[in-house]
Amino acid sequence: MASVSLLRVTPCAVISLNNEGKLSDAPIRMTRLEAAPVKTQAPAYAKVCTIVCGVASAILGTLSFVQRIGETREQARAAKVNVVQALVTLLKGVVLFHGKVTKVDQRIEGGFTCGIAYFTGVGTDKGKTFEISFRNEYLLVQSEECPLCITPDLIIVLDEETGMPILTEWLRYGARVVTLGVPANKKWRTSAGIELAGPRAFNYNTDFIPVEKLVASHPPF
């Protein structure tokens, strides 16, 4: 199976609950704006994807890889080895910090869950502070205003004990977490990918820097 990125699906039609139709060049934004006020769904109908577009845009094997992630976590727990380290190895990522949630500022904006989560470091990160900005997904990790991981690279927040992922809406005061930074697929790191899902697409005043470069410039990790 594959996920698809950088695929133009517009123009599309969005239908509201009262059967009013609209054409849009921004289907995700419009669908959320239709659905959010009434806490329901607004279907969107996009143009057909051709084989050529699909091959060019597909990131192959993503669902199979998700299965491998789950299997790796379960195997690590059964073998009583470090779950987080097993996942870091599989994902070719890096541990950004160990921390405890001290505050979560969260709001609904345009159908998205937006906000900033604040952490105090624990263990080897004791004495440090961290924050993660999010808009449904985690987008930017910083420590004392220095970026540690930036979208479209992946930011993954795990429960420190179980290795289970913690989504933005599940963050709670006092939760102890391990946060990972994982390099994005090379298609997301192209100029087109960064334009679509880089920091400036979410109004963050910074350029994309690969997580491996950020880690190298902010030791120790």
- Return the structure tokens found at 46: 């996009």
Q: What's the pLDDT at 112?
A: 86
Residues 153-169 have pLDDT tens digits of 999 999 998 999 999 98
Split at pLDDT 50, 70, 90, the class of 44 is: low
Helix (H, G, I), strand (E, B) or coil at 208: coil
Q: What's the pLDDT at 56?
A: 78
- Please spell the DSSP secondary structure of 54-113, one letter per residue: HHHHEEETHHHHHHHHHHHHHHHHHHTS-HHHHHHHHHT-EEEEEEEEEEEEEEEETTEE
Q: What's the pLDDT at 38?
A: 47
Query: How far from the centroid of its chain's Cα atoms is residue 75's Cα?
Result: 25
Find out whether 32 and 26 touch, Cβ atoms under 8 Å.
no
Query: Hey, which of 12-16, 27-31, 109-113 has the most confident mean pLDDT?
Result: 109-113
Residues 60-89 have pLDDT tens digits of 899 999 999 999 999 999 999 999 999 999
Find out whether 217 and 147 touch, Cβ atoms under 8 Å.
no
Residues 182-191 have pLDDT tens digits of 999 999 999 9
Q: What's the pLDDT at 33?
A: 53
Average pLDDT over residues 171-197: 95
Kindly tell me if the per-residue pLDDT of 205 is higher than 60.
Answer: yes
Average pLDDT over residues 196-206: 95
Q: What's the pLDDT at 15?
A: 55
Question: What is the rounded distance in angstroms from the CA atom of residue 42 to the CA atom of residue 34?
Answer: 6
Look up tokens 């969260």; give the residue: 106
Residues 45-56 have pLDDT tens digits of 556 677 787 777
Neighbouring C-beta atoms of residue 194, cutoff 10 Å: 19
Q: Where do the structural domains in the chain lie, given as residue ranges?
A: 2-59, 92-217
Spatial neighbors of 17 by CB under 8 A, at least 6 apart, are: 38, 40, 42
CATH architecture of the domain with residue range 92-217: Beta Barrel (2.40)
Residue 110 β-bridge partners: none
Q: In the predicted model, what is the mean pLDDT of the chain?
A: 84
- Return the structure tokens found at 73: 């976590």
